[in-house]
Amino acid sequence: MAMAGDKSNIPSLKAFFDSKVAVYNQVSFIKDDPICIPHLFSTKQDIEIAGFFASIFAWGNRTTIIQKSKELMQLMDNAPHQFCIGHEESDLKKLLAFKHRTFNTTDLLYFIEFLKTHYNANESLENAFVLSPDKDPAARLHHFHQYFFSLPDAPLRTKKHIATPIKGSTCKRLNMYLRWMVRKDNKGVDFGIWNKIKPSELICPIDLHVARVAKRFQLLDRTNIDWQAGLELTQYLKTLDPKDPVKYDFALFGLGVIEKYV
């Protein structure tokens, strides 16, 4: 296989990865993936909020992620947008026992307060991700991080749940969420309900599984799995499809997690 940046075998590699995208980018993929949570809803705001929580919870066992996400949606009366903007103080009591790994009540109550504040002034959560004056992906996510924690008395402990490139994080879960909201095709998996961010501006979500596959095919030279690794991988994927590089997340994830290719 060619080294990252070496375009000598792109046609054969593109054909292989396109075939894997075709296998996994279809409706049958949804039920076993956290993206099934926003697919429970039909209105834009419910999809945004359900997807946001599911993506933030998306580390560890996928079955547990889905179970805990469904549990939270049920606690929010399966109407997350209405719950966030219209809840009374007494409605929050039923949330006090909720926990997913290190995400606890303090974190959840702040998330809901942020969403209430945001949606009282905005029609879509997309506006929170386009605060940066430029289209640089790192600036976009850093501005989101600053905005998310701009409410008074934002808990310090909650900041670990919203990553920022400034600290070198891969921002895997936020990049995955953006893929869900931004990518547009007719396959029925990603939603494509946001229009202010282009698919070409997305960064491929990268974790240990994706990085192993990328290194197996020599698409990635960087040793550390960090923000720069995500940029490097995405830059290579743009040589396969400059308009929609992140569609190859389906191939890399499928090969690494489902097929256990490496």
pLDDT value at 115 more than 70: yes
- Averaged over 236-244, what is the pLDDT? 97
For residue 171, pLDDT over 90 is answered with yes
Query: Among residues of the chain, what percentage have pLDDT more than 70?
Result: 95
Mean pLDDT of 27-41: 97
pLDDT value of residue 87: 95
Which tens digits make up the pLDDT trace of 227-236?
A: 999 999 999 9
Query: Which token pair is 37?
Result: 């949570």
Least confident of 19-23, 72-76, 211-215, 257-261: 257-261
Measured CA to CA in angstroms, residue 197 lies from 21, 74, 135, 208 at distances of 22, 31, 8, 26
Q: Comparing 218 with 10, which gets the higher pLDDT? A: 218
Quick check: 1 pLDDT over 50? no
Residue 132 binned pLDDT confidence (cut-offs 50, 70, 90): confident
For 58-96, the pLDDT digits (tens) are 988 999 999 999 999 999 999 999 999 999 999 999 999
pTM above 0.85, yes or no: yes
| φ, ψ dihedrals at 13, nearest 5° | -70, -40
Q: Which two tokens stand for residue 102?
A: 């290190």
**What integer best gives the mean pLDDT of the chain?**
94
CA distance 248 to 246: 5
- The full set of domain ranges for the chain reads 1-29+203-262, 33-198
Q: How far apart are CA 30 and CA 25, in angstroms?
A: 9
What 8-state DSSP symbol labels residue 147?
H
What is the pLDDT, as a whole number, of residue 6? 52
Q: What is the pLDDT of residue 133?
A: 84
Q: Is the pLDDT of residue 258 over 90?
A: no
Distances (CA, A) of 193 to 74, 116, 146, 189: 24, 20, 24, 12
What percent of the chain is predicted at pLDDT more than 90? 89
Gyration radius of the chain's alpha carbons: 18
Instruction: Dump the DSSP string for 13-74.
Output: HHHHHHHHHHHHSSGGGGGGSGGGTGGG--SHHHHHHHHHHHHHT-SS-HHHHHHHHHHHHH
The number of beta carbons lying within 10 Å of the beta carbon of residue 102 is 10
pLDDT for res 35: 98
Question: In 3D, which of 142, 137, 131 has the Cα closest to residue 198?
Answer: 137
